[in-house]
């Protein structure tokens, strides 16, 4: 389907349910898609960071995008990450996800290698020239690890290279600068990857939101988005604060025993399992599983938020 | 062939010659291999950082390892990088390079994702269990970006998970700590990725050296290694200083116009082109090419070192 | 005077006007204070980062706080930075600024030395035990360079160690977490150091704002604060966006020639000079002065914002 | 006394013994000086990082330099750190330590503020113009946190701004580059701050060594320096490895409970106390003290090295 321009609303980055032996659990995946679609989300984003894209081999990636695109069957747009180190490798992922029917691709700056704004610009221009579908720039400094500059985003946007920005930087000042700098560009979409400042981002004029926590509580973000669109900032703030409390689950994992990814993605998956959406909470190797007592704490977050 | 244990000597990380349209130039690649082998190097390392592995799509990677393994035909060992974000993706690269005949694989800690020593340990253990050939840990903090701890290296070494360490951290104190900590482990090999402190590393007891600049001047490193083995530290130091001066070429690229990779790898390839080894100095997209005057400066470095 | 608890409103971090030979220009400083007070700000913060505290020797620091406290004469509260590397050095600054009459002190985590949350906690507890006036924690990761954790802030707040938080981290998700975590603590004040997300911070419940740009356009931030208090979020957003555009001045300095401090503080001082508030736009050594054409660009930002 | 040019040999950065209530223990300090002088060191460096300069208020700093200069009484040169954030603050420390009789000052790049090579150059030039004694540049990226570039060091050296470099970066490739770049400058001194690669540094041509561990085992470094000067690299290496093992003591402190400074400086002071040199092992607030069992482990390191 043709992507709306600008893309707006709630676009959850879809978790990738796995079996205990780290195969893609397509039955759970389609249940998760149903859980999200029935909550009223506006589009889906597969193969992003919350999808454990960095952990999925190419055959898993293909299975995920294929499963989701088929299951969604055009009801709403599917964006797909094409996450890899540099241009030619990204091209191959673009080919794979668009062959499967993705409606847009989401691409980071080059990583692993030391890079430069001029090279990042060349990278996005090459990917856009190669891609049959619109390209979203993915600003993910925790992973890449560099911040896309506002000037670069504005240049790529006004040249029609990118159709939108998915900003997971957590730097809301720079996010606003990118919003203002691209405001006059027809159809350009600015999405926040934050879970915690969605009301702020929408008040600034953000088009949409891509919250990992939206896997666990898609209705929450759908409500929050609607309150913001209605200008009901008091209810938006209250809903946001409820979600902030729920987001506390990302810290259940013992930092002496595991990294931030294991804890946060482990908590999202444990919550989806506790809510009955997916069959198994396993995260991909080499992530460390949550302990039973850590999973229990996830349950308490769910209960406190009225989700269990 | 069976990898010597410990692996010793000069093991250049082989550049990947490309055509102007970014295809692998296999004719130039085999000439480069001949240039290295005839200089007396002890093994070859393909698909590492100096090989632009981060820039090469899988089909390029396969062509490189296949071309080099076939051409070398067992004269000396070929190590191959299996550089990717996490475990299952690394498994696929291990399968590909070992199917082509690589004698060992070189693997970094996970990247793109936030990780933890416990997860790095699980990662190397899983890769080693999967790999039919020995695994070298690749400590590359500029890219990953984290430093492998000495305790972790020692644990993996003494458990037989890794057969060696390729340390490109530039932290010679930690390098020495790893050397000392693994000294009693039979067959374990500690290699420095430094171009500038090879004599120091060998004096400390390093088994070998993996210098990117060894593409340009393999004889230099072969001589340096021999002087060090002979305990002729004065000549080793003089040769090292000659190579330090030559290494200045990595800075020819204008930092306002390109990143460090474009400049350093561009200089190595320009030097190989000027020396008549490869047909084209192109680096992979999205790197920025050196300007003619920058290439001219590379030539001056070669001339000053007696290589042109 | 006794500090209001919580401290609320607009609290500009007062620039330190200097003579061409880097002495404190007290006449310009009192004019700057009048400029701020007459605009309706709620308190003043001297000797913070925007005051070039890091550049001022102790005698300059004393002259600044003494001049401002005397001139303000109790009309509004004066907070003073006690910026130094560790506890005992901070104690001396606390003694100096409170002897001069400062109503509160603003203190960072230790810097220069490698530190740990337990040590940061000890640091703030020791400073608070030593200080005769309330202590604000200053979260300034660009300088320190670490982020104060929400748990640590909440612990120090609930133990009565700190009276408030001045958050210049730019991480609005963490800012919100600190706001929520300290909400039940009577009198505790959470201030944002952002120039660009003040409306968002106030919508989240922030008590006040400490914008460096408030030197240049204090009326702007006073208006913005009032709109927010009145719940007039549309006008708040419009005013914020006008200030975002004005903030662009911090980038006038050529990054090839100077650091971010030289550019941003140079622009603020050039703007104050162009507006006739201070006699000389000099920044402290070793900062690089703006060129005439860079100053001209500052003037254009002022003109576009209706300030010249 | 006039500083030798170049300064050579072993120059320990003298720890600052404290009483339990964090006053300078001058009796222990003079005993520590005697311990170092009688071991045959070539000069003393007070008020550096190992001296806890970042933790000492100005009155402590004055007492330290005054005590040491008086006690040494011209037997050997005394260098003093003038560690502060920027130029004018450094000037005041230069005035204080030179009034007390320091023979040279040791100065870092500006910190706390975002800086630029042009500003660092201006900083050192201003300090050198102000200082009545030679200025050593202190490259301390862990603290500052930036690396002094080789080009900048070479420029300052050849312009006579700095008399030497004290390199604690741990980057031995860059260290060598600085050595080579300044080799032709008469009297210029390049010192390594490493504890672990002293033999390497001396083999490269370093003039001297400033090891924190030299407080604990000054004879070790004096022997190591002598072996290196004699070209007896085998004994140098053996002595260096003995010192590497001893240096393991810096890791005794539990990283879950304290920072790296508390652990390393706490271990050095515990060792000096166990060896009977100083009366009390206290480190300055807010550092966390070692536990009794951690101190016991320090004792085991001493015993293993034959020092207890």
Are the Cβ atoms of A57 and B91 closer than 8 angstroms? Answer: yes
CA distance A244 to D10: 56
**Strands of chain C, DSSP E:** 9-10, 44-46, 78-81, 104-108, 135-139, 164-167, 189-192, 208-209
Chain D neighbours (≥3 Cβ pairs under 8 A) are B, C
Please report the number of interchain residue pairs, chain A to chain B, with beta-carbon separation below 8 angstroms: 141
Range of the domain at C194: 9-232
User: Which residues in chain A are closer than 8 Å to C169, comparing Cβ atoms?
Assistant: none
Of C194, C197, C244, the CB nearest to A180: C244
Q: Where residue D34 falls among pLDDT bands split at 50, 70, 90?
A: very high
Percent over 70 (pLDDT), chain B: 100
Q: CA-CA distances (angstroms) from residue A120 to A124, B5, B18, C69, D18? A: 6, 42, 21, 50, 53
- DSSP 3-state of C161: coil
- DSSP 3-state of A79: strand
Are the Cβ atoms of B119 and A284 closer than 8 angstroms? Answer: no
Are the Cβ atoms of B200 and D204 closer than 8 angstroms? Answer: yes
- Asked if pLDDT for residue B105 goes beyond 90, the answer is yes
What does the pLDDT average to over D289-300? 98
Q: Where residue A233 falls among pLDDT bands split at 50, 70, 90?
A: very high
Q: CA-CA distances (angstroms) from residue B56 to B12, B49, B99, B299, D254? A: 18, 11, 18, 27, 43
Identify the bridge partners of residue A161 per DSSP, sorted by sequence position.
none
User: Which residues in chain A are closer than 8 Å to B128, comparing Cβ atoms?
Assistant: none
Q: Where residue D117 falls among pLDDT bands split at 50, 70, 90?
A: very high
- The nearest CA of chain C is from the CA of A95 a distance in Å of 36
Of A54, A121, A288, the CB nearest to B118: A288
**CATH number (domain holding residue B193):** 3.20.20.70
Residue D196 in any domain: the answer is yes
User: In terms of Cα–Cα distance, which of B85, B288, B87 is closest to A89?
Assistant: B85
Are the Cβ atoms of A54 and B92 closer than 8 angstroms? Answer: no
- Asked if pLDDT for residue B271 goes beyond 80, the answer is yes
Q: Give the pLDDT of residue C86.
A: 98
Q: Give the pLDDT of residue D16.
A: 98
User: Which residues in chain B are closer than 8 Å to D177, comparing Cβ atoms?
Assistant: 196, 244
Q: How far apart are the first and last CA of chain B?
A: 36
Q: Where residue D273 falls among pLDDT bands split at 50, 70, 90?
A: very high
Q: D143: which residues sit within 8 A by CB, 6+ positions away?
A: C112, C113, C114, D49, D54, D108, D111
Q: Give the pLDDT of residue A89.
A: 98
Element counts in chain D: helices (H) and strands (E): 11, 8
Q: Give the pLDDT of residue C302.
A: 98
ipTM value > 0.95:
yes
Q: CA-CA distances (angstroms) from residue D149 to B63, B253, D84, D139, D141? A: 40, 17, 20, 9, 11
Q: A24: which residues sit within 8 A by CB, 6+ positions away?
A: A16, A17, A18, A56, A60, A63, A64, A67
- Asked if pLDDT for residue C225 goes beyond 90, the answer is yes
Are the Cβ atoms of B171 and D171 closer than 8 angstroms? Answer: yes
User: In terms of Cα–Cα distance, which of D268, D266, D305 is closest to D282?
Assistant: D266
What does the pLDDT average to over D77-90? 98
Residue A146 in any domain: the answer is yes
Are the Cβ atoms of D203 and B237 closer than 8 angstroms? Answer: yes
Give the chain C residue nearest D121 (alpha carbons). Answer: C286
The mean pLDDT value of chain A amounts to 97
- The nearest CA of chain D is from the CA of B167 a distance in Å of 13
Q: Give the pLDDT of residue A198.
A: 98
Selecting among D55, D112, D147, D166, the annotated active-site residue is D166
Q: Where residue B1 falls among pLDDT bands split at 50, 70, 90?
A: confident
CA distance A80 to A93: 9
Are the Cβ atoms of A172 and C170 closer than 8 angstroms? Answer: yes
- Asked if pLDDT for residue D62 goes beyond 90, the answer is yes
Selecting among C55, C138, C147, C229, the annotated active-site residue is C138
Q: Give the pLDDT of residue C2.
A: 84
Q: Where residue D167 falls among pLDDT bands split at 50, 70, 90?
A: very high
Percent over 90 (pLDDT), chain D: 98
User: Which residues in chain C are closer than 8 Å to A177, comparing Cβ atoms?
Assistant: 196, 244
Is C221 a residue of the active site?
Answer: no
User: Which residues in chain C are closer than 8 Å to A176, comparing Cβ atoms?
Assistant: 196-197, 244
User: In terms of Cα–Cα distance, which of A62, A73, A42, A38 is closest to A277?
Assistant: A38
User: In terms of Cα–Cα distance, which of C47, C253, C262 is closest to D122?
Assistant: C262
- Asked if pLDDT for residue A206 goes beyond 90, the answer is yes
What does the pLDDT average to over B112-119? 95
Q: Give the pLDDT of residue A102.
A: 98
- The nearest CA of chain A is from the CA of C85 a distance in Å of 27
Q: How far apart are the first and last CA of chain A?
A: 36
Q: Give the pLDDT of residue B2.
A: 84
Sign of CA dihedral A247, A250, A254, A259: negative
Of D180, D200, D203, the CB nearest to B244: D180
Q: Give the pLDDT of residue B253.
A: 98
Are the Cβ atoms of C286 and D143 closer than 8 angstroms? Answer: no
DSSP track, A39-58: TT-S-EEESSGGGTGGG--H
Residue B56 in any domain: the answer is yes
Q: Give the pLDDT of residue D2.
A: 84
- The nearest CA of chain A is from the CA of B144 a distance in Å of 6
Asked whether the beta carbons of C193 and C210 are under 8 A apart, the reply is: yes
pLDDT tens string A78-90: 999 999 999 999 9
Q: C278: which residues sit within 8 A by CB, 6+ positions away?
A: C15, C17, C25, C28, C29, C31, C32, C269, C272
CA distance A182 to A5: 13
Q: B49: which residues sit within 8 A by CB, 6+ positions away?
A: A113, B13, B81, B83, B140, B143, B168, B212
Q: Which residues of B touch D (CB under 8 A)?
A: 170-174, 176-177, 180, 194-197, 199-200, 203-204, 233, 237, 241, 244-245
Q: Where residue A1 falls among pLDDT bands split at 50, 70, 90?
A: confident
CA distance C212 to A269: 43
Element counts in chain C: helices (H) and strands (E): 11, 8
pLDDT tens string B167-218: 999 999 999 999 999 999 999 999 999 999 999 999 999 999 999 999 999 9
Q: Give the pLDDT of residue D1.
A: 74
- Asked if pLDDT for residue A2 goes beyond 90, the answer is no
Is C301 a residue of the active site?
Answer: no
Of C174, C194, C241, the CB nearest to A180: C241
What does the pLDDT average to over C279-301? 98
Give the chain D residue nearest B231 (alpha carbons). Answer: D233
The mean pLDDT value of chain B amounts to 97
Residue C84 in any domain: the answer is yes
Residue B263 in any domain: the answer is no
Q: Give the pLDDT of residue B59.
A: 98
C84-122 burial, b if ≥16 CB within 10 A, otherwise e?
bbbbbbbbbbbebbbebbbbbbbbbbbbbbbbbbbbbbb
pLDDT tens string A138-160: 999 999 999 999 999 999 999 99
Of C176, C237, C244, the CB nearest to A196: C176
Of B177, B200, B237, the CB nearest to D172: B200
CA distance D93 to D87: 10
Asked whether the whole model's pTM tops 0.90, one would answer yes
Residue B267 in any domain: the answer is no
Q: Where residue D110 falls among pLDDT bands split at 50, 70, 90?
A: very high
Residue A216 in any domain: the answer is yes
Q: Does residue D161 have a known ligand-binding role?
A: no
User: In terms of Cα–Cα distance, which of B74, B83, B128 is closest to B103?
Assistant: B74
Q: Residue D8, CB half-sphere, CA atoms under 13 Å: how many?
A: 11
User: Which residues in chain A are closer than 8 Å to B109, comparing Cβ atoms?
Assistant: none
Are the Cβ atoms of D118 and C57 closer than 8 angstroms? Answer: no
Give the chain D residue nearest B251 (alpha carbons). Answer: D151
The mean pLDDT value of chain D amounts to 97
Give the chain D residue nearest C124 (alpha carbons). Answer: D286
DSSP class of B283 = P
Of D114, D145, D287, the CB nearest to C259: D114
SS (H, E, C) B15-52: CCCECCCCCECHHHHHHHHHHHHHCCCCCEEECCHHHC
User: Which residues in chain B are closer than 8 Å to A56, comparing Cβ atoms?
Assistant: 88-89
pLDDT tens string C60-97: 999 999 999 999 999 999 999 999 999 999 999 999 99
**Strands of C199-305, DSSP E:** 208-209
pLDDT tens string D239-252: 999 999 999 999 99
User: How many distinct structural domains can be found in chain B?
Assistant: 1
Chain A neighbours (≥3 Cβ pairs under 8 A) are B, C
Are the Cβ atoms of C204 and A203 closer than 8 angstroms? Answer: no
Identify the bridge partners of residue B209 per DSSP, sorted by sequence position.
B10, B192
Are the Cβ atoms of D122 and C88 closer than 8 angstroms? Answer: no
User: Which residues in chain B are closer than 8 Å to A142, comparing Cβ atoms?
Assistant: 114
Asked whether the beta carbons of D5 and D187 are under 8 A apart, the reply is: yes
Residue C208 in any domain: the answer is yes
Which one of C150, C175, C203, C249 would you mutate to disrupt binding with A, by most A Cβ within 10 Å of its Cβ?
C203
- Quick one: chain A helix, strand, coil %, rounded to 5? 50, 10, 40
């Amino acid at each position: 389907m043709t992507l709306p321009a600008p893309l707006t609303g709630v676009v959850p980055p879809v978790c990738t349910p796995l079996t205990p032996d780290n195969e893609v659990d397509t039955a759970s995946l389609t249940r998760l898609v149903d859980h999200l679609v029935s909550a009223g989300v506006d589009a889906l984003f597969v193969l992003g960071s919350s999808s454990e894209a960095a952990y999925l081999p190419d055959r898993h990636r293909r299975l995920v995008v294929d499963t989701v695109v088929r299951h969604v069957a055009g009801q709403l747009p599917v964006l797909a990450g094409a996450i890899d180190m540099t241009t030619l490798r990204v091209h191959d992922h673009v080919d794979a996800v668009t062959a499967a029917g993705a409606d847009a691709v989401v691409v980071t700056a080059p990583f692993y290698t030391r890079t430069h704004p001029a090279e990042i610009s060349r990278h996005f221009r090459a990917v856009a020239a190669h891609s049959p579908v619109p390209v979203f720039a993915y600003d993910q400094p925790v992973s890449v690890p560099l911040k896309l500059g506002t000037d670069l985003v504005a240049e790529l946007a006004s040249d029609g290279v990118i159709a939108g920005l998915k900003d997971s930087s957590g730097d809301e000042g720079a996010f606003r600068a990118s919003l203002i700098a691209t405001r006059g560009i027809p159809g350009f979409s600015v999405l926040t990857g934050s879970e915690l400042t969605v009301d702020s981002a929408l008040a600034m004029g953000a088009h949409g939101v891509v919250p990992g926590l939206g896997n666990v509580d898609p209705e929450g973000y759908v409500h929050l988005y609607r309150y913001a669109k209605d200008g009901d900032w008091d209810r938006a703030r209250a809903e946001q604060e409820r979600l902030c409390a729920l987001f506390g689950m990302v810290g259940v994992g013992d930092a002496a025993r595991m990294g931030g990814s294991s804890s946060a993605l482990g908590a999202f998956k444990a919550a989806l399992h506790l809510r009955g959406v997916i069959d198994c909470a396993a995260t991909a190797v080499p992530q460390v599983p949550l302990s039973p007592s850590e999973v229990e704490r996830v349950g308490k977050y769910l209960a406190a938020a009225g989700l269990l």
